[in-house]
Amino acid sequence: MTVEEIFNLIPKPDGVVFSLLKVDKVTTPHPYCLGVRHVSFASDRYCGRLSEECIREGKKEGIHCMVGGCNLSFDEHVIDTILFIKVPQNKDLNNVGGLHDYLLKINDEAQKLGITGYAFPT
């Protein structure tokens, strides 16, 4: 979904200091990282097809995310859809005039649109 589509569905009020930047996918805590063992497992057991099923089965064989120290499963690496809202400063979002009321107003519609969170870059 583009910022323009968001504007049409949940427009920003006039006279505020914040602006909608973008809607983007963000993986938390980090993107699932594939390694050589994933490729080898896919080659040996899935005719080279490195699918989500293959990755999940690989976890049962001790093949996990290759980010150092990560033992989370593939499904625990969550992809969120985030609405980025530019603010003049983000140390105290309560001081950004109109932001709190705006977020309360749009939250239900944002959830219907698949937005699962907000980020506030300066």
Q: Are residues 22 and 44 in the same domain?
A: no
Q: Are residues 24 and 51 in the same domain?
A: no
Q: Are residues 81 and 105 in the same domain?
A: yes
99 contacts 93 by C-beta, under 8 angstroms: yes
Q: Are residues 56 and 89 in the same domain?
A: no
Tokens (6 digits) for 28: 């938390």
Q: What is the pLDDT of residues 14-43, one digit of tens each?
A: 788 888 888 889 999 999 999 999 999 999
Q: Are residues 23 and 83 in the same domain?
A: yes
Q: Are residues 56 and 87 in the same domain?
A: no
pLDDT, average across residues 87-115 = 87
What is the widest separation between alpha-carbon atoms in the chain? Answer: 61
Strand partners, 118: 83
According to the model, what pLDDT value does residue 109 have?
85
What is the helix (H) or strand (E) element at residue 81, kind and residue range? strand 78-86
End-to-end CA gap in the chain:
22
According to the model, what pLDDT value does residue 37 have?
96
According to the model, what pLDDT value does residue 21 have?
85
According to the model, what pLDDT value does residue 90 have?
66
Instruction: Domain count for the chain, please give it.
Output: 2
Instruction: Give the rounded percent of residues in the chain with a pLDDT score beyond 70.
Output: 94
Q: Are residues 53 and 112 in the same domain?
A: no
Please report which confidence band the pLDDT of residue 3 belongs to, taking 50, 70 and 90 as the band edges.
low
CA distance linking residue 114 with residue 44, whole number of Å = 37
3-state helix, strand, coil in the chain (%, to 5): 40, 20, 45
Residue 80 predicted with pLDDT over 80: yes
Q: What's the domain range around 55?
A: 36-68
Q: Are residues 64 and 43 in the same domain?
A: yes
Please report which confidence band the pLDDT of residue 120 belongs to, taking 50, 70 and 90 as the band edges.
very high
DSSP state for residue 69 in the 8-state scheme: T
Q: Are residues 21 and 81 in the same domain?
A: yes
pLDDT, average across residues 48-69 = 95
Q: Are residues 47 and 24 in the same domain?
A: no
Q: Are residues 24 and 45 in the same domain?
A: no
